[in-house]
Structure 1
Amino acid sequence: MTGLKTLATSSKHRRIAALTLVLLAGTALGGYGIARADETAGLNASAAVQKNFTPVPDFSALVTALKPAVVSITVHLKISDASEQVPDPNDQGGQSGPGGASPFPFPFPMPGFGGGQAPQPQAVEAKGSGFIINSDGTIVTNNHVVKNAKSITVTLSDGQSYPAKVIGADPRTDLAVVKVSAGHPLPFVELGDSRAVIPGEWVIAMGNPFGLSNTVTAGIVSALGRDIGDGPYDRFIQIDAPINEGNSGGPLFDQKGRVIGINTAILSPSGGSVGIGFAIPSDMIKRVVTQLVASGKVTRGYLGVEAQMITPTMAQAMGLPDGQDGAPVGALIAGISPSSPAFRAGLKPGDVITKVDGAPVTNPGDLAIDIANVDPGHDTSIEYLRNGKPHTLTVAVATLPTNPNKDFGTNGAGGPDMTAHGDIGLTLAPLTGHDLAQLNLPNGTQGAVVAQVQPGSPADEAGLQSGDLLVGVGNDPITSPDQAAAAIKSAEGKGGKALALRVVRNGEALFVAVKVPDSKKAG
């Protein structure tokens, strides 16, 4: 669809936002009163400002030069089932973003929806933005702008309109390329180097918010590398330049007129800009767009691991060293897909990947992007920790499949009786055939089902849930409740401050760090 992706905020956040607005309004009124008092005292405020004020940058010449390469995109589609095609802004989809927010595509308000009436088949027109990267009419935009389009019209800044066709799209990064045939060379802009961007520098956003073409806003880079929970390759540039619905696909320029990002999403309590916007960095755009232009699709490397962040508690539980700033580094392997390159190379759950081809890996996001950028078939060096000791291996990266295999279970059968482990607040049950069917696990899977979690216990505080399948304690596999209880007791007796429990939840593997009660710590 089209429009800007919006990250909805919780009711608590909405109350805070409203309070902030009131406080700001109060500050503005107070400032007005002070200014009037100074004026009556005979002070020349204008002269003081002219003497001491440092003017902000003037972007007018830059905007004049760049505007011809920025386009408005109108998408036409026919919706037969609005509930399938148009996301409900109140449906948060079970995905969590920053601060409890939940990301979802938020399209323009469209006539004929809502009002309690069943939607009828109708033609829908929606709008977005884009920018020309080649004089032949090649245009970059967001995938969610042109997704499901029946027809696309591109309008230049001078009002000329042309039909456009989709050359290629990549849902994983929300990027798309469309093309128009104008019959003559078109003005275009260049992609810059987003790796050189730093927080605090000025940026310009251009686009078509709410259908208002040729709109320009300015602001600064607020932060880099933001993960908003929108996909595996999140590395957004956060900006405070106002962007709204319809800005999606529009360029984010640096002060030299180079595109350093593509405006994609906002975090907002209302659906409008509150100064928290997100742009896909140009380095990602370059790689994806180059492939889309060449072949209409994107090919990525595939390792076949399920990785997760390492918390300080998890680092304690697994005896992992801290990074230079004292925080744990690396990507913890929670699961490995059978027959994957990682499986064949000998990587195991519990290993911590620290480098890919010499490049440091600080978190799972780094790993996902680094592996995706490897050409399939390339022999890649992986540096990792196993039981705290460094190792290196070479793995032949494969091609990322359309639906990567996420079967991270283990083989075996459960025991006959439930086992309670009161120290950490867990009650474990054997894994039955019924459980395998309910959990959609293959026959022969081994482990112990979490039957109960005692409220307020260490297991509860760690986030363990009834229905989780416990498949390992540390790096040791689990085959039954009794074995799990024995392994937990043994790990506690070694004097650690936390236990690393490996579980499978909703078909995905992850490690959960459970703090050991003080009474059980060795000393």
Structure 2
Amino acid sequence: MRTQQLLYIAAGVVVFIMLLLVGWGLTHKSGDGGGNGRSAAGFVGAVERAQAATVMITVSGSGANEAPLQMGSGFVVSSDGLIVTAAHVTGGLPVFNAVFADGSVARAELVAADAAADVAIYRATPGKPLTFLSFADSNQVKAGQAVVLMGAPYGLVGTATSGIVSAVNRQIGAPVNEEDPFAAGALSGPVKSFIQTDAALTAGGSGGPLLNGAGQVIGMASARESRGEPGAGLAFAIPSNVVKAVVDRARQAPPAGQAPGPTPQP
């Protein structure tokens, strides 16, 4: 009799442990593998905020009756109007118009640019606090994690495309030999370590933010390689740590036309 009771107790313990393991598996199943613990459904809130913080970059037409010319995408990184884009998008342009998803337009002026990092910082003056995006540590990005790429491809501001991180620390530099697959491609810029993703990057999307499931910026769209195949291609993003370093330097620099203050005495 006692033996039978012990068997019942043992069976109950086994069932309890199995239920705990099943519960643990269900709670962790929705993770995206990138350390942010968000499921695909979590991108809804991330995209809503990012849409408000993503801009289309345009310049006025050469003639009075010509429509504005779209140049690319950018995103707001501070409530007082700092906007980040890829330096190759604006080419050192001192001023552009930032068009938001709600249709509002703000004039943005160049604050700083780092051609080597392909990052340019502008400041808009919309007269109100802006929705902005924060940076995540790009060193924590993992291949396989889900991502969303925001931008204004074809002038469609606030467009989101999704995918995964295909690879990290992708080395794309000067060809080392004739067999280099990117030797004849568009990816010959100075940034040597990209985040590679299969999220679609199309015309006008360069300069847009690449987001993790928490809606944080892990990279900035810089280039793509499609080999002319419609609907195909790979996108490459500059890691957020590189972008953030340029932003931080721009924030510490004195405003344009203002001389640096005196050096503090010890």
- Give me the TM-score of the superposition, normalised by structure 2: 0.69
Aligned to 1:265: 223
Measure the CA separation in 2 of the matches of 1:261 and 1:292.
Answer: 18
**Alpha-carbon offset, residue 185 of structure 1:** 0.8
Q: Measure, in 2, the Cα distance between the counterparts of 1:287 and 1:160.
A: 29
Residue 193 of structure 2, aligned match among 199, 222, 235: 235
The one-letter code matched in structure 1 to 2:99 is T
Partner of 2:69: 125
The CA distance in 1 between the partners of 2:61 and 2:94, in whole Å, is 5
SS at match of 2:93: coil
For residue 59 of structure 2, the aligned residue among 67, 75, 79 is: 75
1:290 aligns with 2:248: yes
Separation in 1 of the partners of 2:239 and 2:132?
18
Give the conservation status (yes or no) of the 8 Å contact 1:194–1:261.
yes
Q: Which residue of 1 aligns with 2:116?
A: 172
**Residue 276 of structure 1 pairs with residue 234 of structure 2:** yes
Q: Secondary structure at the match of 1:186?
A: coil
TM-score (norm 1): 0.36
Task: Specify the structure having the higher radius of gyration (Cα).
Answer: 1
Distance in 2 of aligned mates of 1:75 and 1:150? 11
CA contact (8 A) 2:98 2:106 kept: yes
Corresponding position of 1:60? 44
- Matched residue of 1:243: which SS? coil
Which position in structure 2 is the counterpart of 1:44? none
Offset at 1:147? Answer: 1.2
Query: Residue in 2 aligned with 1:153?
Result: 97
Q: Relative to structure 2, which stretch is displaced further, 228-237 or 175-184?
A: 228-237
The aligned amino acid for 1:283 is N
Q: Which residue of 1 aligns with 2:106?
A: 162
For residues 26-37 of structure 1, the aligned pairs below 5 Å read none
Contact residue 51 and residue 159 of structure 2 kept, 8 A? no
Identity, in percent, stands at 40
Number of equivalenced pairs: 201
Q: For residue 204 of structure 2, what is the aligned residue in structure 1?
A: 246
**In 2, Cα distance between the equivalents of 1:185 and 1:272?**
40
1:109-508 mapped onto 2 (5 Å cutoff): 125-149=69-93, 151-229=95-173, 230-270=188-228, 274-295=232-253
Q: Distance in 2 between matches of 1:123 and 1:167?
A: 26
Provide, for residues 319-357 of structure 1, a one-character-per-residue CA deviation record: whole Å limited to 9, x for no partner: xxxxxxxxxxxxxxxxxxxxxxxxxxxxxxxxxxxxxxx
Change (3 A) 1:206 1:169: same
- The 8 Å contact of residues 227 and 233 in structure 2, kept in 1 or not, is answered as no
Letter paired with 1:281:
P
Inter-partner Cα distance in structure 2 for 1:65 and 1:261 = 17
Distance (whole Å) between structure 2 residues aligned to residue 61 and residue 123 of structure 1 = 33
Q: Which structure exhibits the higher relative contact order, with contacts defined as CA atoms closer than 8 Å and separated by 6 or more residues? A: 2
Gapped regions of structure 1 (runs ≥ 5) = 1-53, 79-121, 297-523
Local SS of the residue matching 2:250: helix
What CA distance in whole angstroms lies between the structure 2 residues aligned with 1:218 and 1:151?
31
| Post-superposition CA distance 1:67-108 (Å, at most 9, x none) | 211111113476xxxxxxxxxxxxxxxxxxxxxxxxxxxxxx
Paired with 1:215 and 1:176, the residues of 2 have a C-alpha distance of 21
User: Which residue identity is paired with 2:40?
Assistant: P
User: Deviation at 1:124?
Assistant: 7.8
CA drift of 1:63 comes to: 1.2
